[in-house]
Amino acid sequence: MQLEPGERSILAYFSDRQQAQEAALALKDVGYLALQIDGISRYPNRLVYESYPVNLSSMVLHGREYGSQAYGLDQGPLMAADPSVSGMSSPAESAPGYSYLLTLVTGQDKFDTALQILKQHGATV
């Protein structure tokens, strides 16, 4: 995406999906429409794990055995080395940090107002 002259983009990070959605609603209420919320995951193709339990054997063997084309057996052992696989750590979804990205495109004249709304809702910009 390329910004038009006079447009600015804001990348706002949230640790909670609810916060991101509330910020998006507040922005829409005052007329900002060019925005979206995306989840950030440590795995580039999270859909692979949604239908199977994430454990050591599923991460090592999920390639050909489950018919997934996202990762093959070459990546399986590396994926299995992740600390979250053992069950001794928190799942990836609850990992601390910023898991949600709200992207907003606005004109220069409305930039400061949008920034203020995002910060009021707990965004890191």
Per-domain residue ranges of the chain: 1-40+98-125, 44-92
47 phi and psi, to 5 degrees? -60, -25
Average per-residue pLDDT for the chain: 75
37 phi and psi, to 5 degrees? -115, 130
Confidence (pLDDT) at 12: 96
The C-alpha atoms of residue 68 and residue 64 are separated, in whole angstroms, by 6
Q: Which helix (H) or strand (E) element contains residue 37?
A: strand 35-39
Place of tokens 């919320």: 37
pLDDT digits (tens, 9 = 90+) for 12-35: 999 889 999 999 999 999 999 999
The C-alpha atoms of residue 100 and residue 109 are separated, in whole angstroms, by 26
User: What CATH code would you report for 1-40+98-125?
Assistant: 3.30.70.2750
pTM of the model: 0.61
The sign of the CA dihedral 44, 47, 52, 58 is negative
